[in-house]
Amino acid sequence: MDANLQRDPQSPPLAVVPDDKEAEKHNLTHTPYAPWCPSCVCFRARADKQIRNDQVKASSIPCISLILPKSVAGSEDEQVGAKIAVIYVVSQTGFIGCVPVRSKGQYHLIVQELVAFPQLLGYHEVTYRADNEPTARQLLKLVVDTRLKMGYPTRGHVPPPYSHGNALA
Protein backbone atom coordinates (compact mmCIF):
# COMPACT_ATOMS: atom_id res chain seq x y z
CA MET A 1 0.00 0.00 0.00
CA ASP A 2 1.16 3.52 -0.79
CA ALA A 3 2.70 5.31 2.20
CA ASN A 4 0.75 8.48 1.35
CA LEU A 5 -2.55 6.65 1.83
CA GLN A 6 -1.69 5.30 5.26
CA ARG A 7 -2.19 7.04 8.54
CA ASP A 8 -1.46 6.09 12.11
CA PRO A 9 -4.54 5.76 14.32
CA GLN A 10 -4.95 8.48 16.94
CA SER A 11 -6.32 7.40 20.29
CA PRO A 12 -7.36 9.66 23.13
CA PRO A 13 -5.08 9.67 26.15
CA LEU A 14 -5.94 7.06 28.74
CA ALA A 15 -7.52 8.42 31.89
CA VAL A 16 -5.34 8.05 34.96
CA VAL A 17 -7.37 7.24 38.06
CA PRO A 18 -6.22 9.30 41.06
CA ASP A 19 -5.76 7.98 44.57
CA ASP A 20 -8.82 7.21 46.71
CA LYS A 21 -8.71 10.54 48.55
CA GLU A 22 -8.80 12.58 45.32
CA ALA A 23 -11.52 10.34 43.87
CA GLU A 24 -13.70 10.83 46.98
CA LYS A 25 -13.21 14.59 46.78
CA HIS A 26 -14.22 14.61 43.10
CA ASN A 27 -17.30 12.46 43.83
CA LEU A 28 -18.72 15.19 46.09
CA THR A 29 -19.52 17.50 43.16
CA HIS A 30 -18.21 15.84 39.99
CA THR A 31 -16.71 19.19 39.08
CA PRO A 32 -14.63 19.64 36.98
CA TYR A 33 -15.19 16.90 34.42
CA ALA A 34 -12.92 13.90 35.00
CA PRO A 35 -12.40 11.38 32.17
CA TRP A 36 -11.72 8.61 34.73
CA CYS A 37 -15.00 9.18 36.62
CA PRO A 38 -17.76 6.74 35.59
CA SER A 39 -20.52 9.26 36.47
CA CYS A 40 -18.97 12.08 34.43
CA VAL A 41 -18.50 9.78 31.44
CA CYS A 42 -21.86 8.01 31.88
CA PHE A 43 -23.89 11.21 31.90
CA ARG A 44 -21.90 12.48 28.94
CA ALA A 45 -20.53 15.47 30.79
CA ARG A 46 -18.48 17.61 28.52
CA ALA A 47 -14.87 18.44 29.14
CA ASP A 48 -15.50 21.93 27.72
CA LYS A 49 -16.61 24.26 30.45
CA GLN A 50 -20.09 25.77 30.34
CA ILE A 51 -19.72 29.43 31.07
CA ARG A 52 -22.80 31.06 32.54
CA ASN A 53 -23.42 34.67 31.71
CA ASP A 54 -26.32 34.95 34.19
CA GLN A 55 -28.46 36.55 31.47
CA VAL A 56 -31.34 34.28 32.46
CA LYS A 57 -31.02 35.24 36.15
CA ALA A 58 -31.13 38.93 35.29
CA SER A 59 -34.52 38.58 33.63
CA SER A 60 -37.61 39.60 35.57
CA ILE A 61 -39.39 36.51 34.22
CA PRO A 62 -38.42 33.28 36.00
CA CYS A 63 -36.84 30.65 33.78
CA ILE A 64 -37.15 26.92 34.44
CA SER A 65 -34.47 24.90 32.65
CA LEU A 66 -35.12 21.21 32.29
CA ILE A 67 -33.16 18.17 31.13
CA LEU A 68 -33.85 14.50 30.69
CA PRO A 69 -30.52 12.78 31.36
CA LYS A 70 -29.75 9.56 29.56
CA SER A 71 -31.01 6.65 31.61
CA VAL A 72 -28.35 4.66 33.41
CA ALA A 73 -28.55 1.06 34.50
CA GLY A 74 -27.29 0.05 37.92
CA SER A 75 -23.90 -1.53 38.47
CA GLU A 76 -23.29 -5.15 37.57
CA ASP A 77 -23.51 -6.15 41.24
CA GLU A 78 -26.97 -4.65 41.72
CA GLN A 79 -30.21 -5.77 40.17
CA VAL A 80 -31.36 -2.21 39.55
CA GLY A 81 -33.35 -1.09 36.54
CA ALA A 82 -32.76 2.07 34.57
CA LYS A 83 -33.11 5.36 36.43
CA ILE A 84 -34.95 8.09 34.53
CA ALA A 85 -35.87 11.51 35.82
CA VAL A 86 -36.64 15.00 34.59
CA ILE A 87 -34.42 17.50 36.38
CA TYR A 88 -35.27 21.20 36.44
CA VAL A 89 -33.57 24.33 37.78
CA VAL A 90 -35.23 27.67 38.57
CA SER A 91 -33.18 30.71 37.51
CA GLN A 92 -34.26 33.13 40.26
CA THR A 93 -33.77 30.82 43.24
CA GLY A 94 -31.41 28.10 42.01
CA PHE A 95 -33.92 25.51 43.22
CA ILE A 96 -33.29 22.07 41.72
CA GLY A 97 -36.24 19.72 41.34
CA CYS A 98 -36.60 16.19 40.09
CA VAL A 99 -39.50 14.16 38.72
CA PRO A 100 -38.63 10.43 38.71
CA VAL A 101 -40.45 8.47 36.00
CA ARG A 102 -40.50 4.93 34.64
CA SER A 103 -39.95 6.06 31.06
CA LYS A 104 -39.40 9.27 29.12
CA GLY A 105 -42.81 8.71 27.56
CA GLN A 106 -44.73 9.48 30.78
CA TYR A 107 -45.61 12.92 29.48
CA HIS A 108 -48.82 13.25 31.49
CA LEU A 109 -47.05 12.98 34.87
CA ILE A 110 -44.12 15.16 33.84
CA VAL A 111 -46.37 17.88 32.38
CA GLN A 112 -48.50 17.89 35.56
CA GLU A 113 -45.43 18.40 37.73
CA LEU A 114 -43.86 21.08 35.53
CA VAL A 115 -47.12 23.02 35.17
CA ALA A 116 -47.93 22.88 38.90
CA PHE A 117 -44.45 23.80 40.08
CA PRO A 118 -44.45 27.54 39.13
CA GLN A 119 -47.84 27.94 40.84
CA LEU A 120 -46.34 26.62 44.08
CA LEU A 121 -43.73 29.38 43.90
CA GLY A 122 -46.30 32.03 42.98
CA TYR A 123 -44.93 32.61 39.46
CA HIS A 124 -47.52 33.76 36.94
CA GLU A 125 -45.33 34.27 33.86
CA VAL A 126 -42.60 31.69 33.17
CA THR A 127 -40.10 30.74 30.48
CA TYR A 128 -39.11 27.09 30.08
CA ARG A 129 -35.81 26.05 28.50
CA ALA A 130 -35.02 22.54 27.29
CA ASP A 131 -32.30 20.66 25.44
CA ASN A 132 -32.48 19.92 21.74
CA GLU A 133 -33.28 16.25 22.30
CA PRO A 134 -36.57 15.28 20.57
CA THR A 135 -38.14 14.02 23.82
CA ALA A 136 -37.23 17.26 25.63
CA ARG A 137 -38.58 19.35 22.76
CA GLN A 138 -41.88 17.42 22.80
CA LEU A 139 -42.14 17.79 26.58
CA LEU A 140 -41.42 21.53 26.34
CA LYS A 141 -44.17 21.96 23.74
CA LEU A 142 -46.67 20.09 25.90
CA VAL A 143 -45.86 22.12 29.02
CA VAL A 144 -45.99 25.47 27.21
CA ASP A 145 -49.25 24.57 25.41
CA THR A 146 -50.86 23.39 28.65
CA ARG A 147 -49.97 26.58 30.53
CA LEU A 148 -51.15 28.75 27.64
CA LYS A 149 -54.49 26.92 27.58
CA MET A 150 -54.78 27.62 31.30
CA GLY A 151 -54.31 31.34 30.61
CA TYR A 152 -50.76 31.71 31.98
CA PRO A 153 -48.21 33.70 29.94
CA THR A 154 -45.56 31.12 29.07
CA ARG A 155 -42.65 30.91 26.65
CA GLY A 156 -40.51 28.00 25.58
CA HIS A 157 -36.91 28.21 24.41
CA VAL A 158 -34.64 25.60 22.83
CA PRO A 159 -30.99 26.58 22.28
CA PRO A 160 -29.20 25.90 19.00
CA PRO A 161 -27.68 22.39 18.68
CA TYR A 162 -24.34 21.83 20.45
CA SER A 163 -24.55 25.11 22.34
CA HIS A 164 -24.62 25.59 26.09
CA GLY A 165 -27.84 27.61 25.94
CA ASN A 166 -29.48 25.47 28.62
CA ALA A 167 -26.54 25.89 30.98
CA LEU A 168 -28.65 26.26 34.13
CA ALA A 169 -29.64 22.63 33.93
14-66 pLDDT, tens digit per residue, is 778 889 999 999 888 877 888 888 887 777 655 555 555 555 555 678 888 88
Closest CA to 63 of 32, 88, 28: 88
| DSSP bridge partners of 101 | 84
User: pLDDT per residue over 110-145, tens digit each?
Assistant: 889 999 888 888 888 999 988 888 888 888 999 999
What CATH number does the domain located at 55-157 have? Answer: 3.30.420.10
Residues of the chain within CATH 3.30.420.10 domain(s) are 55-157
CB atoms under 10 Å from CB of 130, counted, come to 28
Q: How confident is the model at residue 151 (pLDDT cuts 50, 70, 90)?
A: very high
pTM check: above 0.75: no
